[in-house]
Amino acid sequence: MNRLIATIGFCAMFTSAQAADYALVHAGRLLAKPGEAVTENQTVVIKDGMVERVADGFIDESAVGAGDDDQVIIHDLGDYFVMPGLIDGHVHITHENNPNGRLDRVQMSGADLAIKGAGYAHTTLMAGFTTVRDVGAGSSDAIFALRDGIERGDVVGSRIFASGATISVTGGHGDGTQGYTDEIGHILHSKGVCDGAGECRKAVRDQVRRGADHIKLTATGGVLSNTAAGLEQQFFDDELEAIMDSAHAMGRRVTAHAHGVNGINAALEAGVDSIEHGTYLDKDSIRLFKKNGAFLVPTILAGVTVAEWANDPNSHLLPPQRVKAAKAGPAMIDMARRAHNGGVKIAFGTDSGVSKHGDNAREFGLMVEAGMTPMEAIHAATVNGAANLNKSDLLGTLEPGKFGDLVAVKGDPLSDIKELEDIDFVMKEGVAYKKK
């Protein structure tokens, strides 16, 4: 008999993650479906990386029908609060904002960025975020290689859904060549930059060809682009419609970076599936969100972060960035509060890469500060996070047929949401990567 049965508590540490045919997670308190009641003394049965069932009580290998050669690992979380793996719907996993960022763009290759991203993806997984949506990379080669390497098991990190190059107008947020010489700008020019409906269709189709899981566009100006072009609409309406139609025709959801209200509403009118940031949304925006069933990803942490930089005279912000950060950053908590009160569907997202990777869970406290309950904030990072990715069949809850992704904390995040800032246990597809 080759079966290995191991009870793994928190008295021992392992230098490498262990895979098994069966993983049995004994959960003292279990939030299997955020938004529903917490249950006690349950076992999450994971077979070949997928949830097989949730059983009452703490069962052992004899109750799962394991074969003689099957390996079974039991994880004792009887004193812990267990819930689905978290989903961050807005990250930039291959970089992190720093004073040398503009220099990095001309000194670091796509391979360099992929290696940096591997480190950030590992850090993010250890913070409890088993899945992330990357919404724009400096190098499409880097993000697609990293995504695929994690999927193959070559790299340990959060599961990635990637957009590749951001669809942007010439000189707009996402162009990224502002302030460089023309010679350098030509080298840095992104294939996502387009002008006119025809070019925009081609740009979308090219990202799908490259392997994009979704399409990201910049409907308005942005805080951290090095240009005094404001935060309002930058694509024309026909261009927005061309982007939506082309992406949807090829089975891809579309999300729009949008701060200014005209850009928010124009993107919603054109049929966008989600809005990132949403800083200056108004009553019409809320109506359109609800009419279309679109998600808002408020990225409050990004607003707090850039506001802190704007107030620091020694920060690395360039003059155009500082002006925009001082204006937009402080507005984002109130925006999230108004959207929540208006009944907009909210999905969790941080804009990590602006803030530090691994600090993603700070967003939870800010969401609660904006008026959400802890359960609503968790729901945004699980159930809504999965729906925003169009992956509710695989993610967001601990139910049969879904990925065996879960996290655990010692305390009760429904009483103190900041418990999620210090995750004690992380499992992805039945493999435990973090154990305290």
Task: Answer yes or no: do 351 and 298 share one domain.
Answer: yes
Q: Name, in order, each residue with C-beta under 8 angstroms of 428's C-beta and a sequence gap of 6 or more.
A: 85, 125, 130, 158, 159, 403, 404, 405
Do the Cβ atoms of 81 and 34 come closer than 8 Å? Answer: no
pLDDT at 434: 96
> Are 123 and 233 contained in the same domain?
yes
Tell me, yes or no, whether 393 lies in a domain.
no
- β-bridge pairing 215-218 and 431-435: unpaired
Is there a single domain that holds both residue 337 and residue 288? Answer: yes
Query: Which residues, in sequence order, are CB contacts of 434 under 8 Å at separation 6+?
Result: 125, 126, 423, 424, 425, 426
Same domain, 205 and 240: yes
Q: Is residue 287 part of a domain?
A: yes
Let me know if residue 332 belongs to a domain: yes
Instruction: Tell me whether residue 78 is in a domain.
Output: yes
- Asked, for residue 364, whether it belongs to a domain, the answer is yes
- Residues 212 and 133 placed together within one structural domain of the fold: yes
Query: pLDDT value at position 286?
Result: 98
**Helix spans in 213-316 (H):** 237-249, 261-270, 283-292, 300-310
384 and 409: one domain? no
Quick one: pLDDT at residue 102?
A: 73
Residues 103 and 141 in one domain: yes
| Residue-level pLDDT, tens digit, the chain, 436 residues | 334 455 444 433 333 466 789 999 999 999 999 999 999 999 999 999 999 999 999 999 989 988 888 899 999 999 999 999 999 999 999 999 888 877 877 888 889 999 999 999 999 999 999 999 999 867 789 999 999 999 999 999 999 999 999 999 988 887 776 666 777 766 666 788 999 999 999 999 999 999 999 999 999 987 877 777 778 999 999 999 999 999 999 999 999 999 999 999 999 999 999 999 999 999 999 999 999 999 999 999 999 998 888 888 888 888 888 888 888 888 899 999 999 999 999 999 999 999 999 999 999 999 999 999 999 999 999 999 999 999 999 999 999 999 999 999 999 999 999 999 999 999 999 999 998 7
- CATH no. for residue 125? 3.20.20.140
Q: Residue 413 has which token pair?
A: 């995040």
Residue 154 belongs to domain spanning: 86-388
Which residues is 215 bridged to in the sheet? 254
Judge if 363 and 228 occupy the same domain.
Answer: yes
Q: Does residue 427 share a domain with residue 350?
A: no
- Residue 166 is classified by DSSP as P
Q: Is the dihedral of CA 330, 173, 213, 132 positive or negative?
A: negative
Residue 188 confidence (pLDDT) = 66
For residue 9, the model assigns a pLDDT of 47
Alpha carbons 15 and 434: distance in angstroms, whole number: 10
Whole-model pTM over 0.75: yes
Separation in Å, CA 119 to CA 124, 237, 431, 432: 9, 39, 19, 18
- What total number of domains does the chain contain? 2
Question: Can you give the C-alpha Rg of the chain in angstroms?
Answer: 22
316 shares its domain with 403: no
Please indicate, yes or no, whether residues 56 and 159 belong to a single structural domain of this protein.
no
Give the number of other Cβ atoms within 10 Å of residue 180's Cβ: 16
Give the pair of three-digit tokens for residue 117.
Answer: 């991203």
In a domain, 279, yes or no: yes
CATH of the domain at 407: 2.30.40.10
Beta-strand pair 274-277/159-162 = unpaired
Residue 200 lies in a domain: yes
**Residue 248 domain-assigned (yes or no):** yes
16 and 75 inside one domain: yes
Output the pLDDT for position 179.
67
- Residue carrying the six token digits 């391979």: 111
Per-residue pLDDT at 13:
32
CA–CA distance, 219 with 58 (Å, rounded to integer): 51
Strand order across the 86-91 sheet: 86-91, 129-134, 159-162
